[in-house]
Amino acid sequence: MAASTLAEVAKLAGVSLATASRVLNGSARKPGEGIAERVRAAAEALGYVANAQAQALAKSSTGLIGLIVHDIADPYFSAIAQGVQAAARQEHRMVLLATTDGTPAGEKDAVVAFAARRAESIVIAGSRSTRSEDAGANAELAAELDRYCRNGGRVGVLGRPVIGAAETDRYYTVAVPNEALARELALELAAKHDGPFMIVGGPEGLATSDERIKGFQQGLSDAGRPAAELVRAPFNRNGGFDAGVGISRKLATAELSRPCIFAGNDVMAIGVAAAFREHGFKIPRDAALAGFDDIEWLRDFRPALSTVSLPLEELGRLVTLGAISDDAGPAAIAGSVALRRSTSSS
């Protein structure tokens, strides 16, 4: 059945098209007594649904925020998305979502799509790639963001700024102190762990992982400890699992004695622990284990995982408010080290 039109509503209510539009589209101009009720009753009787695109054109506003994340199934990004949604709801906006698998080329395509749909703001949450093979895609992403901002859009970025993008008053960044917090974690672990240290990190060139690796190694150095052995793997649960299998083999041959393992994020740590269980090893008896992020999944993880706690929902909220407001000042992000059972002495 064809949708009812505004003209049909106006005819049934016995008013002009302009009056019906003012009533149903929320104009500040008030119609005469009883007219608004008549128009709404006609709209209800006809099953009229307002055309959001037409309203946006009339108001020069869509109320849309485009959110770009690597993987919404990852609890790190889903927590940030909850914060974005909370801020959008507070400001009476709607959120469109795009996932990109962490590629700058995918982010560029999402920016183009959101711009075409007249999103008023775009929020990008995810690590930057510094790999040489992504240089061209980074440049294209920066160019699209610059074009979007010149045409009136606003951008909020969580983490490092987009490489090459012009940071104007329409471009807002919320930095995450990955390096400093990883250093603090290393210092606290070095004070209580005598054995060797290992790092299970993401691929080289993934900025978030590289910052955390650098900070952790610096903390060990500051504590007078040797550098940790570094194992690189995909920055997800399966990457952690595969790295955990390799570490388990070393433990089985006595090549390694009760290491303290720092995984670059919590889902990698969960993967390492799963591999250990499959090979008959236990945390913390055979190895100490720590992660980073303090995702919600850890509530049910045993033994309780040591990690760096970040206010993930608050990060999403802050970067969104910065992307839609002219008044947002610098965001001060405070994380904290949370030592739990997984790094205890036995």
* pLDDT (tens digit per residue) in 230-254: 999 999 999 999 999 999 999 998 8
Compute the distance between CA of residue 21 and CA of residue 339 in angstroms, rounded to an integer: 60
Q: Is the pLDDT of residue 90 over 60?
A: yes
Give 244-302 pLDDT, tens digit per residue. 999 999 999 888 889 999 999 999 999 999 999 999 999 999 999 999 999 998 988 99
Mean pLDDT in residue range 177-191: 97
Mean pLDDT in residue range 218-231: 97
Compute the distance between CA of residue 210 and CA of residue 205 in angstroms, rounded to an integer: 7
Compute the distance between CA of residue 27 and CA of residue 325 in angstroms, rounded to an integer: 23
Mean pLDDT in residue range 123-144: 94
Q: Is the pLDDT of residue 345 over 50?
A: yes
208, 279 Cβ separation under 8 angstroms: no
Q: Is 36 helix (H, G, I), strand (E, B) or coil?
A: helix
Q: Which two tokens stand for residue 44?
A: 């209800």
- Tell me what pLDDT residue 57 has: 45
Q: Which two tokens stand for residue 163?
A: 């490489």
Q: Is the pLDDT of residue 1 over 50?
A: no
Q: Which two tokens stand for residue 5?
A: 């039109």
Compute the distance between CA of residue 267 and CA of residue 241 in angstroms, rounded to an integer: 9
Is the pTM above the cut of 0.95? no
**Which are the contacts of 344, defined by CB distance < 8 A and separation ≥ 6?**
284, 288, 303
- Side-chain-side CA neighbours of residue 334 (13 Å): 0
- Tell me what pLDDT residue 237 has: 95
Least confident of 20-24, 26-30, 34-38: 26-30
pLDDT band for 329, please (50, 70, 90 cuts).
Answer: low
Most trustworthy range by pLDDT among 15-24, 46-55, 133-142: 133-142
- Tell me what pLDDT residue 319 has: 95
- Tell me what pLDDT residue 34 has: 85
